[in-house]
Amino acid sequence: MIDTKSTGHGTWSSRFAYILAATGSAVGLGNIWKFPYITGENGGGAFVLVYLACVLLIGIPIMMAETMLGRRSQRNPIEAMELLTKESNADSNWHYLGWMGVIAGLLILSYYSVIAGWSTAYVLKAFTGSFIDADASAIKTIFDNFISSPIQLLFWHSLFMLATLAIVVRGVNNGLEKAVQYLMPALFVLMFLLVGYAMTTGSYFQGLHFLFSPDFSKLTANSVLTAMGHAFFTLSLGMGAIMVYGSYLSKDISISKTVFIIAGADTLVALLAGIAIFPIVFANNLHPNSGPGLIFETLPIAFGAMTGGWLMGILFFVMLTVAALTSSISLIEPTVAWLVENKGFTREKACLWSGGVTWILGIGTIFSFNVWSDFKIFERNIFQLLDYLTANLMLPIGGFCIAIFAGWIMLAQHSEAELNMPSTESYKIWKILISYVAPASVFFVFLHVVGVL
Ligand code: PHE
């Protein structure tokens, strides 16, 4: 057994606190901002189906594995991988996995914070009544003017980074638990209200049809990769966020049950967002493939038109911002935990460094929406490049390695004891998924994308 006394590592106050925090990490911009726009860009139904299959067959087993590795080691991801490799007598190169996770987390946060800043800015726009009675083209103009201003984007990005650091400095299992407790239920209620509005647009069924009737001719190798990458992104997998949260989890809690609850809630929020947004898209003759601005160009139309829309608009963007915050803290926590526990940094200094690096990197994303919008590498601007590199490559590669480690390197008696599943059969199913199905799927999708298959 691994000694945990000397690490100074915290624990969640209860199972519920852990579920809230991990759900807080999973549910964020990925569900409400990213899922709808990438679904729109990749043709709808068939993409959604691939995404759901990936969540079930790859995401859930890997989420269990990642939580398990964290809890067994009770350490930050870099140290966790070092310890677990020793415990399994494996090659010490495995600790590079922890490194890749730390880097992926900071890269993701650099653009995540910029988009979360948009959401914060939209709280103010909703408050000042900018959306009232505005039609689709007026709403689009508001968005276009906003993202063309680097100064405004920088301001909101900075504000969001500061808010993230203000929470992380206190330690994720102090302030965080309370924030999520109220946010999650409220977010669900609001999503249902928006779906209610979508039903009145006259294009509700067209929206549902787009989301749920698969047309496989629209799927390309790259859209399958995007769907798979998004399963990792939306569940916060492959970079150590769930590992670090698992490391604060006490030993008597069932990993499998909590993982199903978290993944279920996450998927539900994404589908609700899609069901709310696409009817508005079609009712206003907008295009599903309008990219990262999609929710900012559609939902304000609803807020401008519906009764009580002023308040709903404010609440929605406040909640989206908070949902983004509970994810952003998990993006930076692996780095901070490592700097504190291994490099002797104080929590303040660790936040300052990791936050500073991320803040500067974020400027690249800001510029890709305005002054550098024509600067492209492999036909992608900086934002698209970072998104592709992290969500489509680094997270699936990280997840693949976690699957191999949990399925092939770690001793079965250790994983079985740690997971403590309700029955031996359920453990066996997990073992097959993690050893064969999950890694092979990731591998085949990659082969397909590079054109070997
Ligand atoms: N899961 C978060 C979302 O959907 C993003 C995230 C990715 C958070 C990776 C942590 C790690 O918004």
Averaged confidence pLDDT in the chain = 92
Atom of ligand 1 nearest to the CA of 330: 10
Least confident of 333-337, 395-399, 435-439: 333-337
Task: With cut-offs at 50, 70 and 90, classify the pLDDT of residue 8.
Answer: low
Residue at 398 is within a domain:
yes
Task: With cut-offs at 50, 70 and 90, classify the pLDDT of residue 1.
Answer: very low
Say how many Å lie between the CA of residue 22 and the centre of ligand 1.
Answer: 10
**Which domain CATH number covers 256?**
1.10.4160
Residue at 421 is within a domain:
yes
C-alpha span between 339 and 65 (Å, rounded): 24
Residue at 5 is within a domain:
no
pLDDT of residue 92: 81
Residue at 299 is within a domain:
yes
* 3-state SS assignment for residue 377: strand
Helix residue spans in 58-199 (DSSP H): 60-73, 77-87, 95-127, 136-147, 150-170, 175-199
C-alpha span between 391 and 394 (Å, rounded): 6
Task: For 127-171, write each residue's pLDDT tens digit.
Answer: 999 999 999 999 999 999 999 999 999 999 999 999 999 988 987
The answer to whether 297 touches 286, Cβ cutoff 8 Å, is: yes
C-alpha span between 204 and 189 (Å, rounded): 19
Say how many Å lie between the CA of residue 217 and the centre of ligand 1.
Answer: 29
Paired residues of 377 in beta bridges: 380
* Domain tally, the chain: 1
The answer to whether 419 touches 427, Cβ cutoff 8 Å, is: yes
Residue at 3 is within a domain:
no
Task: With cut-offs at 50, 70 and 90, classify the pLDDT of residue 240.
Answer: very high
The candidate with the shortest Cα–Cα distance to 244, out of 426, 12, 29, is: 12
pLDDT of residue 16: 83
Average pLDDT, stretch 282-299? 94
Residue at 2 is within a domain:
no
Say how many Å lie between the CA of residue 327 and the centre of ligand 1.
Answer: 6
Provide the domain limits for residue 349.
15-449
C-alpha span between 411 and 99 (Å, rounded): 23
Least confident of 61-70, 180-189, 241-250: 180-189
Residue at 10 is within a domain:
no
Task: For 413-428, write each residue's pLDDT tens digit.
Answer: 999 999 999 899 999 9
pLDDT of residue 91: 84
Rounded to 5 degrees, φ, ψ at 380 are -125, 140
Residue at 22 is within a domain:
yes
Task: With cut-offs at 50, 70 and 90, classify the pLDDT of residue 7.
Answer: low
Q: What is the pTM of this model?
A: 0.94
Orientation of helix 221-234 relative to helix 395-404, angle to 10°: 70
